[in-house]
C-alpha cells in the first residue's frame, strides 16, 4: 500500500472528522471512529495531528475556509466598483446558500465551537476558536469596501465581530426551523446595516 503524504493524510482525517460529527455528533468523534471513517490505522491520527483536540480545531478551520471560498467567489463576481450594499447582500445570501446546501457541515461547526468553548469556560476573555472567523470576516469586509470604493466608519474588527455574531444567529435559527426566507431576510437586514457604516471614498 502506497504511503499517503502527510498533507493528504491530514485532509482525509479532517473530512472523516466532519463526517463523523455530522452523523454522530461531537460526542461520537472519538479517535477510533475517525480513523475507521478515514480507513486508516489509529497511529495515523497521531502522526498527522498532535491529538484529537488538534484535529477538531483543524476541522473547524476547514469549515471556515470553505465559507471564505464561497464569500470570495461572490466578491470576484461583483465586477469593477460594485455597489457596496449589493456586494454585502450577495455575500450574506451566499452564506445562507452554503448553510442550506450543507447543513450537516454547519451543524458540525456549531458543535465544534461549543466544544471549544466548554474547554475555556472559566478562562479569561479572548477570541478563542473564533479568532480565525473574525480574521476571515474582517478581511472580506475590507476587500468588499475596497472593491466598492468605500471606507468603513468604524473599525473593521468591530464590524467583523458583529457579522460573525449575526452569522451564528442565522445558522442556529435556520438549523432549528429550516426557514429559508427568514434566514435570507436576516442576512439582507445585516448587509444593509453594515453598508450604513460606510462612506464613499472621495477622489481628489
- Same domain flag for 40 and 136: no
- Same domain flag for 4 and 88: no
Give the span between the Cα atoms of 100 and 77, in whole angstroms.
21
Give the span between the Cα atoms of 145 and 84, in whole angstroms.
7
The model carries a pTM of 0.82
- Same domain flag for 170 and 107: yes
For 41, the domain range is 1-49
How would you write the pLDDT of the chain (204 residues) with one tens digit per residue?
A: 357 888 999 999 999 999 999 999 999 999 999 999 999 998 889 889 999 999 998 998 888 887 776 666 655 555 555 899 999 998 899 889 989 998 988 899 899 988 888 888 888 888 788 888 899 899 999 999 998 999 999 999 999 999 999 999 999 999 999 999 999 999 999 999 999 999 998 765
In this structure, what CATH number is given to the domain that contains residue 114? 1.10.357
Amino acid at each position: 500500500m502506497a504511503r499517503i503524504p502527510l498533507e493528504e493524510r491530514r485532509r482525509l482525517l479532517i473530512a472523516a472528522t466532519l463526517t463523523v460529527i455530522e452523523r454522530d455528533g461531537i460526542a461520537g468523534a472519538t479517535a477510533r471512529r475517525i480513523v475507521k471513517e478515514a480507513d486508516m490505522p489509529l497511529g495515523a491520527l497521531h502522526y498527522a495531528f498532535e491529538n484529537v483536540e488538534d484535529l477538531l480545531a483543524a476541522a473547524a478551520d476547514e469549515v471556515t475556509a470553505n465559507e471564505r471560498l464561497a464569500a470570495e467567489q461572490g466578491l470576484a463576481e461583483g465586477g469593477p466598483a460594485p455597489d457596496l450594499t449589493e456586494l454585502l447582500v450577495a455575500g450574506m445570501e451566499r452564506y445562507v446558500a452554503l448553510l442550506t446546501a450543507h447543513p450537516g457541515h454547519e451543524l458540525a461547526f456549531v458543535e465544534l465551537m461549543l466544544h471549544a468553548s466548554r474547554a475555556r469556560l472559566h478562562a479569561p476573555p479572548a477570541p478563542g476558536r473564533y479568532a480565525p472567523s473574525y480574521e476571515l470576516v474582517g478581511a472580506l469586509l475590507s476587500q468588499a469596501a475596497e472593491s466598492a470604493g468605500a471606507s468603513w466608519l468604524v473599525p473593521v474588527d468591530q464590524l467583523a465581530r458583529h457579522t460573525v455574531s449575526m452569522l451564528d444567529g442565522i445558522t442556529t435559527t435556520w438549523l432549528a426551523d429550516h426557514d429559508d426566507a427568514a434566514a435570507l431576510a436576516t442576512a439582507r437586514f445585516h448587509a444593509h446595516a453594515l453598508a450604513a457604516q460606510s462612506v464613499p471614498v472621495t477622489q481628489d
